[in-house]
Amino acid sequence: MLWLYDNNLIGQIPKNVGHLIYLDTLNLAYNQLTGEIPSSLGDLQNIKYLYLYHNKLNGSISDSICKILQSDISFQIWENQLCPPYPNCISKNSIGAQDTSKCI
């Protein structure tokens, strides 16, 4: 479990976060994280809870995220700056409100 909710984190999510294959919970919500969601998150085969909401994440979301969304996990990414189109595997409730004003 990695629970860093509201911890004043800044910067990007490390690209190799997917190497933590035994991780079952990743909560990075309510921080100041920027950059794209790493495609390696799709490699978190044991993840049950993935919360990235209320940050400043931007760019597009890789289809690799669909690998983990095939199982029944709790996943929330609302209140970021993520650009459509979003992978079809992500529910509209998980995407929620996004600031798309900087999307091309």
Residue 103 lies in a domain: no
Q: How far is it, in rounded angstroms, from Cα 94 to Cα 18?
A: 20
Q: How far is it, in rounded angstroms, from Cα 25 to Cα 73?
A: 10
Its domain, for residue 80, covers 2-95
One-letter amino acid for residue 45 of the chain: Q
Model confidence at 36: pLDDT above 90: yes
pTM value?
Answer: 0.94
Residue 102 lies in a domain: no
List the CATH number of the domain containing 33: 3.80.10.10
Nearest to 50, CA basis, from 35, 63, 69: 69
Stretch 57-76: mean pLDDT: 95
Residue 59 lies in a domain: yes
Stretch 99-103: mean pLDDT: 95
Q: pLDDT band for position 27 (50/70/90)?
A: very high
Task: Quote the number of domains for the chain.
Answer: 1
- Tracing tokens 């650009």 back to the chain, one arrives at 83
